[in-house]
Amino acid sequence: MATLNRKLARARVRRRIRKKISGTPERPRLAVSFSGRHIYAQVIDDSKGVTLASANTTEKDFLGAKDEAHANCATAEKIGKLLAERAKGKSITSVVFDRGGFQYHGKVKTLADAARAGGLEF
């Protein structure tokens, strides 16, 4: 039951966040998501419903090193840097951060700091 309650609580927080945050062509949304094993990050233009850039641990770069592709802070830092690099390649410099209902702590904070260090502003 505790797992169900935690999922429902996160879903409520996520809905509350998405009421306030929306990606525009000038300032797309950087959305993060975590499973037990993988990390996913996307830069999304919500007005068109298009993903502009993405990075995750299921890509070939990360699948080669299986012991490193866990959902931890070290991997979150790599994903943040990779996403910032890909977004800069598409001339995206400013984003709005969507933490996806997760607490801004640990992996989420590490990914956000790495994206900022990579050149994204939010």
Q: What is the pLDDT of residues 10-59, one digit of tens each?
A: 999 999 999 999 999 999 999 999 998 999 999 999 999 999 999 999 98
> Encoding tokens for residue 61?
């770069």
Q: Domain limits at 113?
A: 2-117
Q: How many domains does the chain have?
A: 1
CATH of the domain at 85: 3.30.420.100
Q: Which residues have CB under 8 Å from 42's CB, separation 6+?
A: 30, 31, 51, 53, 54
Residue 47 lies in a domain: yes
Determine, yes or no, domain membership for 87.
Answer: yes
Q: What is the pTM of this model?
A: 0.89
How many whole angstroms separate alpha carbon 76 and alpha carbon 80? Answer: 6
Q: What is the mean pLDDT of residues 3-15?
A: 91
Q: Which residues contact 108 (CB under 8 A, 6 or more apart)?
A: 32, 76, 99, 102
Q: Report pLDDT digits (tens) over 68-94.
A: 668 899 999 999 999 999 999 999 999
Task: List C-alpha distances in Å: 16 to 36, 56, 62.
Answer: 23, 25, 32
**Residue 21 is assigned to a structural domain of this protein:** yes
Q: Judge whether 109 lies within some domain.
A: yes
Q: Is residue 122 part of a domain?
A: no
